A and B are shown apart, each in its own frame.
Chain A
Amino acid sequence: MTSLSHVRLGTYFVVHMPRSDDFAFWRDRARQLVQCDVPPDRVAWVEPGGNASLFSHGDRRAPIPDDPDRPVRASRRFVALAKNAALHSDPERFALLYSLLWRLQSQPRLLEDKADSEVRRLEELDKAVRRDSHKMHAFVRFRMVEDESGGSEHYVAWFEPDHHIVRANAGFFVRRFANMNWSILTPRGTLHWDGEIVREGPPAQKSDAPQGDPAEDLWRKYYASIFNPARLKIGAMLKEMPRKYWKNMPETSLIPELVAGAQNREAQMVEAGTLEFEERPETLQAIDKAIHACRKCPIGELDNQAVMGEGPNDAALMIVGEQPGDQEDQAGRPFVGPAGQVLDAHMERAGIDRRNTYVTNAVKHFKYVQRGKRRLHQSPTAKEIDVCRWWQEAERAIVKPKVILALGASAARGMLGKTVSISKVRGEPIALDDGSELWVTAHPSYLLRLDGAAKEEQERLFAADLAAVKERVEELTA
């Protein structure tokens, strides 16, 4: 069947590619060569600027097939892969494509053999080109320049692709930025879009592109802020954004600084973390000792002493107040001041024995402001209560009360982690995670501030709450 007299023995056909990315030209020539039965080892493919003198004895004319309609087989899949792989900068690519096309004539299902080395090479080229295109979509960074009249904005980017992908990717940018004037400058050629057509230009240099854009400061600020220093993963970053792209991306100049800073911040967090998250003490004595040294919140820094809860370490009832007051701070014991006396009186009336009850506070130190000689009580903030909850939970874990009575909103927050309204929750138990139940009532110091009918009403409610709690404790311990 080889009937072509012009395929002389020992000579090459040399095909000069007019452009490095001209797949259509390759396709026409390759088809003719196959139709003329020219085997792959008899064809040399030369790119623009490539060294053709090596093939000085080759035939530069295209071979003329006897039958130009003779079918050449190539699957759609091959054409798609070849079209993309042809954009690769490997000087051997056209030869590889031709070799595959040649083999496809006798092995139509060749591409399915993924273990074939030429098939694998084709897929590698395709993959490299797809990756380069993808990086172009991702890492092109436009800078805005206003034209002389100040009228229209022009967006200009400098990009350095590895392969001959610029022309093939024009469509992506046209579709995305259809209503913007833009130019993409690369060492392999340039693209210019004016809203209507794409013009192509000769290769450019980096100095042709504008130097900066005020938006880059904002972008860098964003880049630095969205990064989480607690999770440095430099390898993962480098894998997707290799260093070779960095020089043309405004944000990457920050990376060394961010990495160095993160290591410091992480070290600080770990240090702070070990301070804050030490093991929970397992005895009441240990808690007592630890709270005296506690400076987790600013209250601990004041001139005061920590006040530990008191009572049996297996009490069925735990009563929790807000925080020690002036007198408690001086005595080092909870509920010894005026509010404590109100509480004692009510407990006695309700028949609750304080000696069988564990009495403590949501916050362990006295918070105050100094006014002359007097120390004025100040309520703890939600944040301070949440911080001190660490200790109160440790006490609960040891005493394991069946019922907890919280006096006032701060104490309730210490148990629940959220602020509740006393009038809404009083009189009904709230189940806690550890299986105990929480009752909430007013703080006795509130009773001290009232008088007249309001006082009577509140005293009555308070007494009712204590009575309900007593009943519940008895039920649960019976």
Chain B
Amino acid sequence: MGQPGIMEKLEILADAAKYDASCASSGTAKRNSSGGKGIGSTEGMGICHAYAPDGRCISLLKVLLTNHCIFDCHYCINRKSSNVRRARFTPQEVADLTLTFYRRNYIEGLFLSSGIIKSSNHTMEQMVETARILREDHDFRGYIHLKTIPEADPDLVHQAGLYADRVSINVELPTDAGLTRLAPDKNARQIEGAMGGMKMAIRQARDEKKRFKHAPRFAPAGQSTQMIVGADAATDADIVGRASRLYDGFRLRRVYYSAFSPIPDASAVLPLKRPPLVREHRLYQSDWLMRFYGFEAQEVMQATEADGNLPLDIDPKLAWALKFRERFPVDVNRSSREMLLRVPGLGVKAVNQIIAARRHRTLRLEDVAKLTVSVAKVRAFIVTADWRPTLLTDRADLRTLLAPKSEQLELFAA
């Protein structure tokens, strides 16, 4: 068998990367290519250059350096004992591909991950080398996200942070027991150790930047992580709890959730059908509640049902409101911003607009209707100048009334 060509390698190594959920290319330092020799810019907001039929945004060239791996994690299609086609890029090949795509405005940059070849250090060296070629040989000023190998030498991981905008270290599974069972070669303490090291390095670089203008940038877009959902028995409450500890403990920018996908050649230790994609969606919504709506992890957990999982038929904010009906209705003309943010169906923007508008007029239901997508959902929880939800919040069938009629999210609606 000859060496596969670039086209074939790209097919294999992009395919192997598709289970990774993170795609964001935002939140980094502003840069552009004026005055340089190469290309690239970042303007704060990342750009999705295309969308795949799975609804996910394509903003980066997301590939693996190689899908060979000496590890044997059961949920992973690249594990040692899996029967997939294998391929391997050189750092130069990945750099060239990135530039070819970037020049045509297909992408914002590169997201490079890798199976572990030879050793963790060897693999990490190759990834760092790819970023070095882009930054130093080609003066590339676009976005680079490197997935680091927690087992690698901290010095190498540190170098990755010097070239990359963002680094990620995947915790993989929400519980240590799940990790032990499904990723026998990995070690929760090592992963958290690497995250802790990264947190320190990012903070230190930020402090130095304040004092010396020319201090080197270090992962300006911070670090993120990913958890696989539905591959083990962890509940949404477990997952939300873990995510919030990670946010607090390691100052993560984002926790991504990836619904466990049935992978070809699945290991028998995963006797599971795939979890419904809605579950992943509900977890992202709960993440939003914590990041933008002032919910505590504890409160999101209160929204879960007896089995510890968030309901699938309604969003977590509505689930919370239905459990705590005594906190409603909320008077849109008087209530605090915090309480308005708790109203199901009112987003951050709508709340801001309500607060601005009520300085000028006393809001009626029709005014609120102009500011929200669905007043039908909102009105059960609010009071306006001309509206009060008489006992509506006490109705036992409120949930059925408000739950979206079950057209599934996954239907082929093209």
Contacts and interface: CB of A to CB of B under 8 A. Distances in A.
A258 B53 contact: yes
Contacts of B181: 417, 433
A228 interface: yes
A296 B83 CA distance: 14
B151 to A, nearest CB: 15
A8 B324 CA distance: 64
A276 interface: yes
Interface string A226-247: 1111111111111011000000
Contact of B177 (A138, A143, A259, A433): A433
A389 B182 CA distance: 13
Contact of B53 (A112, A237, A381): A237
A176 B74 contact: no
B410 A222 contact: no
B104 A141 contact: yes
A231 B277 contact: yes
Interface in B74-89: 74, 80-83
A236 to B, nearest CB: 3
B33 A177 contact: yes
Interface stretch (A30-38, A89-97, A213-221, A326-334): A213-221
A296 B262 contact: no
Nearest to A420: B184
Interface string A368-399: 00000000000001110011111000000000
A113 B360 contact: yes
Counting chain B CB atoms within 10 Å of each CB, the highest count among A258, A259, A277, A433 belongs to A277
A387 B38 CA distance: 50
B103 A276 contact: no
B195 to A, nearest CB: 23
B261 to A, nearest CB: 5
B411 to A, nearest CB: 8
Interface string B12-25: 10110111000000
A230 B261 CA distance: 7
B39 A179 contact: yes
Contacts of A155: 103-104
Interface in B192-233: none
Contacts of A255: 53
Nearest to B97: A218
A176 B32 CA distance: 6
B10 A222 contact: yes
A176 B101 CA distance: 13
A120 interface: yes
Contacts of B272: 277
Contact of B14 (A222, A230, A262): A222
A232 B53 contact: yes
A176 B62 CA distance: 20
Contacts, number: 229
B55 interface: yes
Contact of B10 (A142, A180, A218): A218
B100 interface: yes
A225 B32 contact: no
Contacts of A280: 271
Interface string B333-364: 00000000000000000000110110111010
A418 B185 contact: yes
B50 A223 contact: yes
A227 B52 CA distance: 6
Interface string B38-62: 1111010001111111111110011
Nearest to A142: B104
A141 B412 contact: no
A41 B72 CA distance: 74
B409 interface: yes
B111 to A, nearest CB: 10
Contacts of A176: 32-33, 39-41, 105
Interface string A137-150: 11111111000000
A223 B185 CA distance: 32
Q: Which 10 pairs show the lowest CB-CB distances between chains A and B?
A: A236-B55, A233-B55, A418-B184, A175-B32, A225-B14, A227-B52, A382-B81, A176-B41, A178-B33, A114-B353
Given A113-B361, A236-B56, A388-B268, 17 more contacts: A112-B357, A113-B357, A114-B371, A141-B106, A155-B104, A157-B105, A176-B32, A178-B34, A179-B37, A179-B38, A221-B11, A227-B18, A231-B261, A383-B81, A383-B83, A386-B268, A418-B184
21 contacts: A114-B371, A120-B370, A141-B105, A141-B106, A174-B34, A175-B34, A176-B39, A178-B35, A178-B36, A179-B36, A179-B37, A215-B101, A225-B15, A227-B18, A227-B53, A230-B261, A233-B277, A237-B54, A241-B50, A277-B272, A419-B72
